[in-house]
Amino acid sequence: MMLQIEFWQLVSMCAAGLCAFAGVLWAVVRMGLSQAQLTQQEAQKQVLQRLDAIDVANKDAAHKSNKLERELLQLQVDLAKEYVRREDYILGQAVLEAKLDKVYEKLEVVQLKGERNVG
C-alpha cells in the first residue's frame, strides 16, 4: 500500500501542525504570563503591607521619642528649680554659721555685762 500526498497537501498539513503548535505554545505563554502577573501582584501586596507596618512602627517610635524628649526637657526644668549645687549649699551654710557666730558673740557680751551688774 502506497500513500501518495501531493506537495501542496503536505505543505498545508505542515502549516496546520505548525499553527496548532503555535496556538498551544501561545496558550501556555499566556497562562505563564498571567500566573507571573498574579504572583507579582501578591508580592506587591506583601511589600505594601510590610511598608505600612514599618510606617506604623516609625510613627510609634517617633511618638515615643518626642515623649521622651519632652520628659527630658521637663526634668531639666525641674532640676533647675529644685537642685542645689554643693558650692551653693556650702556658701549658704557658711553665711548661716557666720550669723550664728555674731548672735553668739552678742549673747556672750550681754551675759558678761549682766554678770558685772549683778556682782
Mean pLDDT by 10 residues, the chain (119 residues): 87 96 97 97 97 97 97 90 81 94 91 76
Q: How many helices (H) and strands (E) does the chain have?
A: 2, 0
pLDDT for the residue 38: 97
The residue ranges of every structural domain in the chain are 34-83, 85-114
Q: How far is CA 94 from CA 21, 67, 85, 99, 106, in A?
A: 107, 42, 14, 9, 18
- pLDDT recorded at residue 119: 57
